[in-house]
Amino acid sequence: MALTYACHGAAREVTGSCHLLECGGRRILVDCGLFQGDREVEAANGEPFGFDPASIDALLLTHAHLDHCGRIPLLVRQGFHGRILATSATRELVRVVLLDAASLQVEDAAHARRSGRNGTAPQAPLYDIDDALHALDFFEPGIGYDQPVEVVPGIVARFLDAGHILGSASILLDVSDGDARRTVLFSGDLGNPGRPLLRDPTPAPPADHVVMECTYGDRPHRPLPDSIDELFRAIRETTQRHGNVVIPTFALERAQEVLYYLHQGLREGAIPAHVRVFLDSPMAISATEIFRRHPECFDRAFLHRLQHGDPFAMEGLHFTRSSTESMAINNIEGGAVILAGSGMCNGGRVRHHLKHNLWRERSSIVFVGYAAEGTLARRIVDGAASVRVFNEDIPVRAQVWTINGFSAHADRPSLLAWLGELPRKEVLLVHGEYERGMRCFANVLASRGLSARMPRRGERMALA
């Protein structure tokens, strides 16, 4: 059986996930994400896919993060007309994510045109709202976890809970060609076990080939309770000195999880009762609503809590959808906890809050997520003395906290636990920085007698 795999994104990098599997003339794509980082990284978004989109039979989407779904509108515009399959929750979230991405791109392009910059930003958006809406038409009704679906004749997919964000899945493909049969498992992004809202990732089932993420393949995370304590301490110390706390937050999952912890902290008196919490992200607000509609994804303990009242609701919590409400936050000098996107600070409202708080010694910036190379978040995390925000140099005087225990990505022990001890022919490592998570994780696998390949972007390989 001639089975081939080609990596068209998240190859020795953490964004742009795009994987092509071919067998007997059938072509299945898993994820079609946006490259995110500095301008050089993002330039890849405008380049050809490396395959003919019209030739793809189906696209299977692991989850709604932009670096996994953000190029779907481009794929459709360039001729893709196959099926798109995803879980019900992913399908709802992806709508919010793609429409938001489209409007941001339109805004950025208009801004670049107005400021007359040449060669520094794309002058035309990658895609617009119409493209995003058109792409959404290709999504079929949501797939339930653990239910086999025939994608094309001879290829059956099963979506397994990946415990990463709401609706996230690993995808097991059962490929047959005549009498030959082979299984390929795509991990998608894997979450951490023991989180309060979502279920633990489903351990990897038997599979011949495993295409696996390894973002944190080089290290364990700090224990979650320590991270929650540190978050509460950051809020206590900052509000005591009358500063604001800015939390750059990913709209899907992290925002809901942090809200849940804040709710807990207020109830237990671990953070002062007078703090005002702002969820300043229309996308995070929509995602929170979608969250409430998908109890099939919840951890049992969280379901139980849900029956005893809204786990996100708290005194002093404001959802600020409009930009007027958002701008009013800029007048608050102390006592506010502001959750805003994007998590990596390369777009969205958080940049306004950084502009107003980075230079203030009394304020704190609290990072609770991954900061990819080349992003504004990474520069602040790495200790830049000043950063550029909206074409202005802003000195970094606020206290910077990096709390990594909240990561939505499995750490090394959890990745190994997910993979388990089952026999595998081989593991293909994707979605990891080569010098950080990836090489280190490849060595760990080698020490366990598992061969790991690390495909480069565009590399096509036979799965023997």
Contact positions toward Zn ion, by CB under 5 A? 65, 189
Comparison of 65 and 254: residue with beta carbon closer to Zn ion: 65
Nearest approach in angstroms of CB 151 to Zn ion is: 22
Comparison of 66 and 143: residue with beta carbon closer to Zn ion: 66
One-letter-per-residue 3-state SS of 82-143: CEEECEHHHHHHHHHHHHHHHHHHHHHHHHHHHCCCCCCCCCCCCCCHHHHHHHHCCECCCE
In what helix (H) or strand (E) does residue 72 lie, and over which residues does it extend?
helix 72-77
Nearest C-alpha neighbor of 183 from the set 168, 200, 194, 171: 171
Nearest approach in angstroms of CB 276 to Zn ion is: 30
Look at strands 83-85 and 58-60 and give their pairing: parallel
Nearest approach in angstroms of CB 11 to Zn ion is: 16
What the block records as the tokens of 415 is 């990745």
Nearest C-alpha neighbor of 49 from the set 24, 90, 79: 79
In terms of Cβ atoms closer than 10 Å to its own Cβ (0-12, 13-18, 19+), residue 270 is middle
Comparison of 42 and 189: residue with beta carbon closer to Zn ion: 189
Nearest approach in angstroms of CB 345 to Zn ion is: 17
Whole-number Cα distances in Å, 329 to 129, 244, 286 = 28, 10, 20
Nearest approach in angstroms of CB 215 to Zn ion is: 9
Comparison of 23 and 344: residue with beta carbon closer to Zn ion: 344
Comparison of 64 and 74: residue with beta carbon closer to Zn ion: 64
Nearest approach in angstroms of CB 122 to Zn ion is: 24
Comparison of 65 and 95: residue with beta carbon closer to Zn ion: 65
Nearest approach in angstroms of CB 64 to Zn ion is: 8
Residue 24 identity (one-letter amino acid)? G
Comparison of 18 and 317: residue with beta carbon closer to Zn ion: 18
Whole-number Cα distances in Å, 385 to 94, 336, 377, 379, 382 = 36, 24, 13, 9, 10
The three-class DSSP label of residue 394 is: strand
Nearest approach in angstroms of CB 65 to Zn ion is: 4
What the block records as the tokens of 324 is 């007027």
Comparison of 131 and 213: residue with beta carbon closer to Zn ion: 213
What the block records as the tokens of 130 is 């119409």
Comparison of 13 and 189: residue with beta carbon closer to Zn ion: 189
Upstream peptide bond of 342 is cis (omega within 30 degrees of 0): yes
Nearest approach in angstroms of CB 190 to Zn ion is: 9
- Please state, in angstroms and rounded to a whole number, the distance separating the CA atoms of residues 294 and 285: 15
Nearest C-alpha neighbor of 160 from the set 124, 186, 178: 186
Whether the Cβ atoms of residue 157 and residue 165 lie closer than 8 Å to each other: no
